[in-house]
Structure 1
Amino acid sequence: MFFSPSPPCSQIHTTNLPLKHPTIRIPPPQIVTNFFESSYISSVTSWPPYELPPNRLSRDMYDHLPLPWNIPHPIPSSILPESQFLKLDYDRDGILSDPSSNDFFGGGREVTLMQAEKGLSTASMVTRWREAHPKEAGTEKDIVKLHIEEVRKLMGGRESMMTGSGTTIIFVKKALEHS
């Protein structure tokens, strides 16, 4: 597909949650870095009451994003042609898109478990969970603290890890008006 991202062009992007960096040699089933997909967390709580559609949309890397041609009242293709739509996915599920690289599209970084805990604590789903469980929030029974403790055990006491994320970039080019 030929696509020229020149004006009038719009671009949106998302990154999903931190993933285990490919240089970490612990097999994925043994280390849980994707908090919301963790089977351990699923055994402790159910996310659906706390996950809103926008949360899922971003976590799914815009796979189900309503687009101008598949919404209930489609925008005419003369304005936003489907042929001028481009969705690029990189490093989905922690599998590097470029096999010759040893890093994520957006780069990897070392994150301490304390930084991971602080970052996860800002997630809207966590905020909603904490509002629904005020007695557990901030205690050793807090959903984020439970997860970080599980990761700490799986990491053998190490306090930091390399992470990265999947990235989706979407370009939509508006049709040029003909005079």
Structure 2
Amino acid sequence: MNAIDLIPEAITLARRFAQERGLDISFGVQDMCALANEPVSKRYDLIVDSFCLQSIVTDADRASIFAVVRARLKSRGYYLISTAMYEPERTYDPGFQYDTATGICYEEVPNDGSRHDGVEIDGTWYQPHRRHLTPTALRDELARAGFRVIFQGSGQGDLVCARSGQDD
């Protein structure tokens, strides 16, 4: 079993939890999006995304992550996703802007001339921070990426997907 995360502290904690439980898991710090350019060396029965997808914000990065998963998922494998979703009653803290058209939540950044992948909204600079899609938008995105949702939980952010064309 393999597990990766972009954040070293998350891997440190996961290693400790696995060791405490006597689990044999190979851990590594890795940017999943960067795997899109690497050859596939192993395929998996199950790929789990536990609240990472919401932090993969741009269309290009999301396309990369879905390509990585699709390429590494066995033909009859499953992609399990838990992610934060759009909630109409959610209020964002000051310094954040939510774009209903894209589902992107932007975080204010200083306008100090430094380079950032930001957008200007009403004279203030923001960078993509999270993506909170509606259940329908997420299902549509997954379908375009070559996945079929076979289960979506009542909270809408828990999904089980298979590669398109796969029987259950």
TM-score interval (norm. to shorter): under 0.3
**Higher alpha-carbon Rg:** 1
- Structure ranking higher on relative contact order (CA contacts 8 Å, 6+ apart): 1
More strand by proportion, 1 or 2? 2
TM-score, structure 1 as length reference:
0.23
